[in-house]
Structures are given as structure tokens and as C-alpha cells.
Amino acid sequence: MIPSSQAEIARFHAALAAMPQDERPDIDTDMLSQILDAAGRLADEVLAPLDPVADRLGCRIENGRVLTPQGYGAAWQAMAEGGWLGLDQPEEFGGSGLPVTLKAMTTALFDRAGLALGMACGATASASVLLAEHAPRDVASDWIPALLLGERAATICISELEAGSDLGRMRSRATPEGDQWRVTGTKQWISFGDHDLAPRIGHCLLARTGDAPGTRGLSLFLVPSHLEDGTPNNITLVGIEEKLGLHGSPTCALSFDGSKAVLLGNAERGLPQLFTMITMMRLQVACQGLAAAARATDIAEAYAADRRQGGAPTEPPVRIETHPDVRRQLDIMRSRTEGLRAVVLQLAACLDRARVDPEAAALAQFLLPLAKAIGSETGFDVAHAGIQVLGGAGYTRDWPMEQTLRDIRVAAIYEGTTGMQALDFTERRLMREPAGYEAFLRRATGPLATAFSDLVDQVRTAAPDRRQAAADAVLRAGWLAVAEWLAPRLPEDARYCLDDATDLFALHASRARRAL
């Protein structure tokens, strides 16, 4: 019921070819085709058939452990054995050392087939990036190869019941014990916090080690679910959430009671260090938005080409894709999907060049909150539009559109809500660390970029509380300026929404100025 990945692969090839030559990842064209074709086969043959089954069965707890849906274990092994968990990881740890851009494309292909299992894959791969940069050498050498082989898995443990997104109020505490640490506290909203895909799970966890207020007293730890000899590490599964979507992804609450932990990086620098992992996970969310949008658009286009209704009563019914209003809806869906694809590839390409090009690194940080926030909303909005195209059929479980809508809804919440991304974009990327914004202005010369620059000048003179009130509108205006910049890379039939960009920009700019 989900169309083959082949057309989606062709769109990635076209989008990559439309990028400036000096910004494309350094990868042989034949190798690119082979990798994307292999990813497409795995998505079509293994992940897509499993997705509705996992949605229906969900996860359950038996004897204090989470059991994932039937078939997940084999799919996890297929992801690991194919090298997909370590595609962009260093070869010294067993990875393939390929570009992040390629990883983003394959992630979107896999998540188009099914978002839920990708939650485990994304966290494990992102944790590998974190450990490579901040773990002691012996810990990195022990954990990363095992993660990439699927022999272990990883999570990110941040949220607490009383703190939520207000990390400065976090209560979990780590205390030293000789050359080790022990962590005590309860964490929640942990995707795949417990499961049966791997015998050992490494929790990348923030806990308080000092008396400094706010986030300054937080340190970063690796807390294994089990010790090297297989002994449980005093971690209790409190429960799993009953959720709107992502039923195949167990969202857990875990209690840590003096659990042994390894300090990562420097004490009381936990949050800045954790952003190594968060950056990769926010890129993953943008890929999830693209995946949901692409899936919904592909389904809607296929349905509209096959479904016949209306037309002259004396003639056979016509394909509904020929009705002007249906055509309008399909054009908007495709336009928004391809616009997001261009942003995702640009962001990933900047991350590829970040280590050797400071300007690319800064531009990536400018694009990241935009791609995460608007990318996640685009996935939901396009799925919503897809249900409308299918009509009553789209509202039923006979078609995967309603599951797509349910699964992608949370993407605008986790890894930092849209409101948090707007504050980060306005306060940090435009005010405190504007190098990425300035790099954007050097590349974008269209009228919306100029108008956005004028708006930013007003934002910078406003009081902090006024800036925060305007942040959502500023974020959305920034997205439209970026969309205008990347528009020449889109295929002609995917530029439908650009006609409305100027009017939408004026609306968001007006909202921002009223708040300022």
C-alpha cells in the first residue's frame, strides 16, 4: 500500500544533482546508486510490511522487560548487518566513514517505510557520534563497535517528571565512588528505554554532580542497563506510555538506584557535550518529517491516479487527480515535500563540511532549528492533506495515511518543541551566535532574504520578552527566506507553494512586529 521507494530514490538523486558542485558530498555516483538501491530494497521488503503489524501489536511488558513487536528483532539485525547503523561513523570503530548527507537520505528512506523502529536506530547511531567525541578512549572502543553491530543499543535520557524541558530543575544526581560514579533518579519519555533487540542498552544520561544552579551543575554519563558480566545495573522499568502513535516504539520511564555510570567528557559540562548527540537527533527529526511527507504524498498521488469519480454523468468517471481542487492539494503536498528535501540535504551537507569549514558549521547551526521545527510540522501537515485527498478512505486503517499522521505528530514535541526551536533560533542563532545567519545572507540574495534581514534588525533592538513573544513568527519567516534561497534547486512541478511565499512572509513578519 506504500508505493515502491524507486521514485523516492530518483528524487534524492535529482535533489543532490541540483546542489552546487562544491557543496555536494564526496561520493562516487555509482556507489551512491548502489547504497540507495540497497536501502530502498530493505525499506520495501522488510520495514514497510512490518510497520502496520507493529502499529497494531505495539509493545508490552513481561517479567519487568519490554517485548517489541514480532519481527522487530530480525529487522534490527538487518539494519545492523547491512551497516546502516554505522554508515557515517568512523572506520576505526567499524563504520563506513560515508557522508552524513548519505546517512540522511537512507534514514528518510527507512523512516518512509516505518517511523517507529527508526527511533531505536537513530538513538543508537547518534549515541555513537557522542561517544566518539566525548567518551574515554577505552569506553568508545568497547561500545561503538558493539552499537554499530546491533549487539548493544543506546538511548538519550534527559526528561524528568518535575523538570520536563526545564533542565535546570533536574533532580537526578550522580555521586563519585572511587574512580566510578553512581546515578540515582527517575527519567521519562525515553524512546526504546528498554527492549529485547539487544541484551545491553547504554543510557546517555544527564545528572547533577555539582551545586551550581540551573544547567551548569549537570554532567553527562553513560549508564549501561547491565554490567559487563550481565548483572543488572539497578535500573527499574517503571512503565511504558500508551501513545497516539509510534506504537512500535516503547516510550519508557526508568528508575536508576545507584546505577554504575561512566563520566563522559568534563564534569558539569554535560549539556553542551550532549548537543553532539542532540544535533544528530534533530537532523533525524527533520528526516522523519521528510519521510512522513514523502510517504503521504506518494500514497495520495497513487490513490488520485487510480481512484475514479466525477466528471460528465454521461461518461465514465474520471481519475480524481484531474479535478482542479485535488490537483491543487497534490501540488501543495509535493511542493512542501520537495522544499523540505532541499533543506535536509543542505543541512546534512553543511554538517559534512563542518569539521574543516567553520562557515559551514555555523550555517548548519542556523538551519538546524528550522529543519527540526518546520520539518516536523511539514510531515504532519502533508499527512493531514493526504487524508483529505483520500477522503473517507484516508481516515480508515485500510490505508496507511492515518498511521502516518499519528506517528509523525510527536516529532514537533520531542528533541525540543517548536517553541523551543523558535527561541533557540531567535536568541542564539540571530542574537548571540549570528555567524550562521550571516553566512546565509551571503548566499541568499532574494527579496525575502532582504526582508528577513530587515526584520532581524528590528528583533535585535527589542527587549528580551518581546523577542520571545515574536520568536515563533521569526522562525517561520526565516524558513520562508531559506525556502526562497533553495527554490532554484526544486523541480519545476514542485514550486507551487513559492507563489504564496511572499504573502506568507508578510503575514509572519507582521505577527513578529506586533509582538516586538
Catalytic residues, by residue number, are: 415
The span from the CA of 261 to the CA of 257, in Å, is 11
DSSP bridge partners of 202: 154, 224
Q: How many Cβ atoms are within 10 Å of 346's Cβ, its own excluded?
A: 24
The span from the CA of 256 to the CA of 115, in Å, is 28
* Cβ-contact 352, 25 below 8 angstroms: yes
Half-sphere exposure of 369 (CA within 13 A, CB side): 27
The span from the CA of 270 to the CA of 13, in Å, is 39
Nearest CA to 415 among 155, 87, 51? 155
Q: How many Cβ atoms are within 10 Å of 63's Cβ, its own excluded?
A: 5
Nearest CA to 512 among 466, 481, 479, 480? 466
The span from the CA of 247 to the CA of 376, in Å, is 18
The span from the CA of 480 to the CA of 320, in Å, is 31
* Cβ-contact 261, 222 below 8 angstroms: yes
* Cβ-contact 157, 254 below 8 angstroms: yes
Nearest CA to 506 among 483, 476, 485? 476
> Rg of the chain's alpha carbons, rounded to an integer?
23
Nearest CA to 285 among 162, 412, 172, 397? 412
* Cβ-contact 419, 471 below 8 angstroms: yes
E-strand spans in 241-304?
251-264
Phi–psi pair at 11, nearest 5 degrees: -65, -35
H or E segment at 222? Answer: strand 218-224
> Could you tell me how far CA 194 lies from the centroid of its own chain?
21
Burial (Cβ within 10 Å: 0-12, 13-18, ≥19) of residue 514? exposed
Furthest C-alpha separation in the chain: 87
Residue 87 is classified by DSSP as T
